[in-house]
Amino acid sequence: MSMPAIETIGGARYPDAIDLAKVRDAHRPLATERKVVEADGNTAAAYACLQMWRAVCFAGFPITPSTKWLEVVTDTVARGTVGCKRVKLMEAEHAVADYLAGAAAACRDLIVATATSSVGLDHMTESTRSLGASGLGNILLINVYRAAANYPLCIEGDPSDALAHRDDGWIQICCRGVQQIYDVVLQAPCIGMHPEVLTPVMPGYYGIKDSHRGSRLILEPDHAIEAFHDRWIRPSQWPGLINGDTALGNCVTSQFFQGFKIDQRSRMERVLTLLPRIGADFEETFSRPGLEFVEPLSWPVDNTVDLAIVAMGPDAGTAAALAPEIGKECGCKIGVLAAQLLTPFPHAQYAARLAHVKAVLVVNQAHHAGHGHLTHEIAQACYPLPKPPAVVSCFAGMGGATVSDATWLAMVRHAVTASRRGERLPRPVIAHEGRIIWPN
Amino acid sequence: MAKLVDIVQRESCFQPGSALCPGCMEGMAFQNIGKLTDNGRKTIFTLGTFCGEVSTLQYPTPVAWGRGERTPDDWTKSFGVIHHVFESAPTVAEGIRDMADLLATTGALPGPVQVCALSGDGGALAIGLRPLLHTIARRTRIVIFVMVNEIYANTGFQYSPTTSIGAETSTTPATETVPGNFMPPIDYIGLAVTAGAGLVAQVSPAFPKYFCRVVEAALACSTTAVLFIPSPCITGWKYEDGTTITLARLGCETGFFPCFLKEEGRPGQLKFVELDPGKRPAIEEFMGPQRRFHHLVRKSPETGSFEARPGREQIFSQIRASIQQRLESLTRLTV
């Protein structure tokens, strides 16, 4: 079966071997026009996956609190609602990741997806670490945050799973709220499959707090999503296993290992340039905020902030709502930033925001041996500033605990006191139910 | 079945340039499988991590995989190969199979795709037993080749769950008190049959016609086909150059790794081995040339033939009993 081949440094590609138009034609839309539905976070993430014509292969193994994503996907595909798609139910998360590796490598132009959580992500580790370096940007892994350690087992939202996997090589984006979950999942392949990035994406959101919270969700029509994707996703220039004469996953000696890692790092750094452009296009297209590095939730236009709070997930919204009142009580002007892009971490963007604040309260919701995952990154971002602020680290909401109004007040008071003492990087504390509970 | 003379003239997807040991059975198997897959269908291989992978898929030294001197004009002769993690070859193959089937369903593919998984016995039967059995249980239409060399060759010839009783390995040393490995090998054929494979076989390139026939049947199988290929390891088993095929034949004929075929819904067959121990070559003939058994076998000073070392009779009884048990169990599977 003779057909032309194009030589690349990654092997030869037969551009006519796969007729993608046929796959596109086989897709059936979930929404033909914009509509408003009621959905929880898992359902929103599932809808976004099902609406992309390129997303054809799904795999999963149920784990709380991500299970409903798999249930919605299997149910919708089984009904034939979205046309020709396939769901594979595997025996374990490790197998899910291996399966996605094969499916993604088989055809680089189509998206493969799964959702998992906690130890499920840990069980995938051997594979996710390989995939992070693989150049297979067409893999989407939705991570529903849940505490990773099983001593004690805790099924509520705690991002220790995602944060323990920051070196896996994936683009990690933290979402907040049902609509943002949907929107981020829709944008994720645009960044991951971009020819200058080719890195798998791990959108994440808090288990229970967001995965199980019902909310209003605007579903965009599939054709609008297709048009948006087509502006960013082009046919892969690299051969896949089906349309290529190629080898993936070779062994190398340490001499050549360096080059592969430099390439991986360079592709990841391109995210910092491309992400805001994709986000801006999304906003222009759908009239909702698109991808951004960090969400300024309560931030004055004139940048006059004394204490900046940096947090993740839905609790950052609570902080924003409380900021004026707590600020008045503590005698300082508070601004709130919600972290969105976790990996690569946008240090420069934080530095620009934090250049003139007196102190930063960093709220970490995952256990960490040191000052906290987020604190390390913020401290690094602030280090080159001419007058770096104090970076005050708190742990709160671990194990998905509620971060109450009183807890926010206690943390702000602690940050103000510590920074007034002149401490640049005080010892971290744990706050819970309105008190600093550690150290005693 | 295609004629052997035609098969040998096909273009293999495994070419010279690998770093496998001279005399390695895996290289011979790859050569032959490579020719058998040159059958007008696009071929994709998945490799787990094993010596057959690290020795053949290196960058920047020439990759030993691929058909022809340059990119084929014919897409069906093009070749895709992926190495993923240790135990992953069957599951990765499953992902490829499903993507290819989905594309075929939409009419997006110009022709059929065949997908084969290659693993070592460590990757498939130790760390990878779970994915192997589950892929089989899902009846995925792939062919899984498992190179069984009874050791973890990649890491320096340590014990694996297929190691023969009495064999000395890097982690089952033969000492005054311990005669090498004392664990009976795992019944991998029985497990694959029970898991529901459409075809399960143990075949060796040392029996070329039979090997070709079974591999062709496997490539035509509508569900999962699993082929175990006993792979005498010149470095790990420590035998003389030039005796790989002899040992592979003896290994079968003495019952250590008998040729076997079972296709779903058909009677199976035990080949090139007698069920009656009296009609089989002595196990000492197989064990004698390998230094991994030297603590058990010696050359008789009188006759020059191999014999059990004095005081080792008990372990020989164990080995013979284990072989007989295996052959009887395989015979039951042929019904």
pLDDT score of B220: 98
Domain CATH number, residue A94:
3.40.50.970
- Residues of chain B above pLDDT 70, percent: 100
The DSSP result for B58-91, as a single string, is EESSPPSBSSSSS--SBGGG-EEEEE-STT-HHH
Let me know whether A125 and A178 are in one domain.
Answer: yes
A-chain CB neighbours of B101 within 8 Å are 86
Q: Count the neighbouring beta carbons within 10 Å of the beta carbon of residue A189.
A: 25
Residues of A in contact with B100 (CB under 8 A): 106, 242
Number of structural domains, chain B? Answer: 1
Q: How many Å apart are CA B288 and CA B296, to the nearest integer?
A: 9
Residues of B in contact with A101 (CB under 8 A): 82, 84, 88, 92, 95
To the nearest whole Å, the CA of A250 is away from the closest chain B CA by 5
B106, A84: Cβ pair inside 8 Å? yes
Domain end residue (candidates: A264, A286, A308): A286
| Rounded (5°) CA angle A343-B88-B170 | 110
Domain termination residue (choose one: A249, A264, A286): A286
| pLDDT, tens only, B202-249 | 999 999 999 999 999 999 999 999 999 999 999 999 999 999 999 999
**Looking at the domain assignment, is residue A140 inside a domain?**
yes
Residues of B in contact with A107 (CB under 8 A): 99, 103
Taking CB atoms and an 8 Å limit, are B108 and A127 in contact across chains?
A: no
Residue in B263, B273, B177, B277 with CA at minimum distance from that of residue B221: B263
Residues A245, A113 share a domain: yes
Q: Please indicate, yes or no, if residue A343 is contained in any of the structural domains.
A: yes
Share of chain B above pLDDT 90, in %: 94
Split at pLDDT 50, 70, 90, the class of B135 is very high
Examine the domain organization and report whether A82 and A136 are in the same domain. yes
Contact B285, B254 (CB under 8 A): yes
Of A256, A286, A316, which one is at a domain's C-terminal end? Answer: A286
Cα separation, B63 vs B58, whole angstroms: 6
pLDDT per residue as tens digits for the range B16-26: 889 999 999 99
Contact in structure between B296 and B180 (CB atoms under 8 Å): yes
CB of A361 within 8 A of CB of A412?
yes
**Domain count within chain A:** 2
To the nearest whole angstrom, how far is the Cα of B170 from the nearest Cα of chain A? 24
- Tell me: do A310 and A227 sit in the same domain: no
Closest CB to A244: pick one of B78, B86, B98: B78
Pick from A130, A242, A252, A254 the residue to mutate for testing the B interface (most B CBs within 10 Å): A242
Same domain flag for A124 and A224: yes
The answer for residues whose C-beta is within 8 angstroms of residue B252's C-beta and 6 or more apart is: B204, B206, B207, B230, B258, B259, B271, B272, B273
A358 and A222 part of one domain: no
Write out pLDDT tens, residues B31-87: 999 999 999 999 999 999 999 999 999 887 767 999 998 999 999 999 999 999 999
Question: Looking at the domain assignment, is residue A200 inside a domain?
Answer: yes
Residue B103: is its pLDDT beyond 90? yes
Check whether residue A275 and residue A326 sit in a common domain.
no
In 3D, which of A55, A142, A51, A131 has the Cα closest to residue A99?
Answer: A131
* Structure token digits, residue B73: 């004009």
pLDDT for B49 equals 95
Interchain contact, A18 vs B108, CB within 8 Å: yes
Q: Are residues A82 and A148 in the same domain?
A: yes
Which chain B residues have a beta carbon less than 8 Å from that of A109?
Answer: none
Domain enclosing residue B188, as ranges:
4-333
Does A276 lie in the same domain as A317? no
Mean pLDDT along residues A386-393: 97
Total Cβ atoms within 10 A of residue A247: 25
pLDDT digit string, tens, across residues B167-194: 999 999 999 889 999 999 999 999 999 9
Residue A372 belongs to domain with CATH number: 3.40.50.920
pLDDT 10s digits, A133-181: 999 999 999 999 999 878 999 999 999 999 999 999 999 999 999 999 9
CA distance A239 to chain B (A): 9
pLDDT score recorded for residue B1: 79
Given B75, B92, B97, which is nearest A17 (Cβ)? B75
Same structural domain for residues A165 and A204? Answer: yes
Min Cα distance A96 → chain B (Å) is: 8
Residue B62 has a pLDDT of 66
pLDDT at A326 > cutoff 80:
yes
Q: pLDDT band for B309, please (50, 70, 90 cuts).
A: very high
Dihedral of the alpha carbons of B82, B86, B89, B91, in degrees to the nearest 10: -120
CATH of the domain at B75: 3.40.50.970
Q: Is A416 helix (H, G, I), strand (E, B) or coil?
A: helix
Distance CA A201, CA A213 (A): 23
Task: Tell me phi and psi for residue A56, to 5 degrees.
Answer: -115, -25
Residues from chain B contacting residue A16 (CB–CB below 8 Å)? 110
A214 lies in the same domain as A314 = no
Option in B75, B79, B102 nearest A3 (CB): B75
Residue A218: domain span: 6-286
Q: How far apart are CA B191 and CA B200, in angstroms?
A: 10
Mean pLDDT across chain A, nearest whole number? Answer: 97
If asked whether residues A272 and A300 sit together in one domain, one would say: no
Question: What is the mean predicted confidence (pLDDT) over A392-408?
Answer: 97
**What mean pLDDT is reported for chain B?**
96
What pLDDT, on a 0 to 100 scale, did the predictor assign at position A117?
98
> pLDDT at position A430, please?
98
